[in-house]
Structure 1
Amino acid sequence: MPGTELPAEQFHGRWIVERVAADATAPPGFTPDRRWIDRTLQFDEDAVGWIGEAGSIAGSARCESPTWSIIWTAANVRQLAQIFRPAWSALNIPLDRVGPAHHWECDTAEPTSFGPNEGIVFPVGDDQLVLNWMDHTILLLRRAR
């Protein structure tokens, strides 16, 4: 069920992809792209995006002016949980540590790698996030220290 909305500032900073898993919609035999491991996601009030070789958010991987909010509708949360559940199991995430579903939306004029199905986040404790990504992939990120 939906919980309490967490402030976006709690998630601001850099997050490193630790592991990958398939979501429930993946075709049989699907293997998620392990090249995401060790990639860094930057999230702040101005943008969300993947850090490129220059050490900043790459242009095509930039979500401008992200609007952060909790997913309130219980039916949506249940549907998302079904999609994420196999990944939580594969990533060994105890369900009692999974927080309420949140998402961000972009105010970006040009298309980016952040489409309408990316940007759904379940916090795991204080230092991990589970993020849906492209092509049936779920990412486990840990806060960069």
Structure 2
Amino acid sequence: MPMLKRINLCVADMERSLKVYRDILGFTVNYMKDSASDSYSYPVFMFPKEAKLRFATLDSPTQERTFALTEVRGIELPKLPVPHMTAVVLNCINFDEVVAKATAMGLKVIPEQALPDLDGKPKGRETAFVDPDGHLIVLYKMLNQ
């Protein structure tokens, strides 16, 4: 069975995105580099050759390179569709702090609600926000955390 290695999001501005993923969510940058013109990312993501790419991997506290950002310059990225078709879902122990920082940054935060277990009883809290590129980030925190 395949193992999930990392999530990769395409972004228009690396520094702006790091304010979300590093400064708000707490990921740390493992490495960042410009992609070569023959990078496999071009055919995989179907980027035109005039696009310039920069790639960063991010570490979580428990896993190296669990997340990645690909900055795409030189072309305009298409607006992501709504309703959202994908989401990054994160267990967030510092839930209130992250929500406060996302709100202070002016990100669209979806109102919090109780996270139900299979019997419908509350087992935690959940909320979501949309990053500057339109990626949906869902946060949850279990009541026992």
Q: TM-score range by the shorter chain?
A: under 0.3
Bigger relative contact order, structure 1 or 2 (CA pairs below 8 A, ≥6 apart): 1
TM-score, normalised to structure 1's length? 0.27
Question: Rg: which structure is higher?
Answer: 2
